[in-house]
Structure 1
Amino acid sequence: MTWTTYRRRSAEGAAGDPEELAARRSVPQREHSGVWLSGKLGREVQYESVTELRVVQLLDHADQVTSFQEQPLALGYTHAGRRRSHYPDFLAVTTDGRTVLIEAKPRGDIPLAITRPSTAPRPGCAVARGGVS
């Protein structure tokens, strides 16, 4: 499996620079998609499902979270000879400076054969973004 990061961002930008806190992919309009007006971010946050909305609300009200971003970056990879990309649902920055990628999926909606390669941790990925190894 080969990994490529399509968009690189600085640790400062990931930690809450307002210019950087914007979705890297537009959320398609579906029955349960929409926007939440975040008091923490001072902008609308896109969500694709009721599960994602619940995560947005949790992140918006959590004292331990200083900022968060939906659809933060594209992770490129090759699986079974095909190039693919995966957008994690959220990136959150905590008060102690950690950066966390979050997937918000109901258990029944996760096809493991497809998501395991795209969500496997890459050595140094979190460290490069100011997280822990």
Structure 2
Amino acid sequence: MRPRVARIALLGLLAGSAAVQARPPRIVGTWRAETAEGPREVVIRPDSSASYGDETVRWRTVADSVYLAFGDEWIGYVVSVRGDRMTVSGGDLEEPMTLRRIGPPTPRPDSIPVPPAPPMTPGRPGQSGGDR
């Protein structure tokens, strides 16, 4: 009976380990990118809103990608987070962009609603579309 319990416990640990590895990257926070036009900040909040400049959009993650809702479509970007650095590629970017986490997200003002989510349609990261 004990070997069976040990196998079940091991399977549980492996399943838990796989779940941890499958987690989407932690992208919530305030991020800064150095661009040719100067520094730009992006705030990604846990309520599924993200702001940059005067724009507020909705976001969601699927595997190693983040999708941003622009109007009635989702644009997918591949995301890699290592420590306080996030590299974003694909979508409408001509080349990968690296941002540095500079702190936690600022709260979304109550006067700015979270935009409605457009319907998800088949697509791949780096193209218009939605969940895979």
Common fold by TM > 0.5: no
Largest Rg, 1 or 2: 2
The structure richer in strand per residue is 2
TM-score category of the 2 structures, normalised to the smaller one: under 0.3
| TM-score w.r.t. length of structure 2 | 0.27
Q: Which has the higher helix share?
A: 1
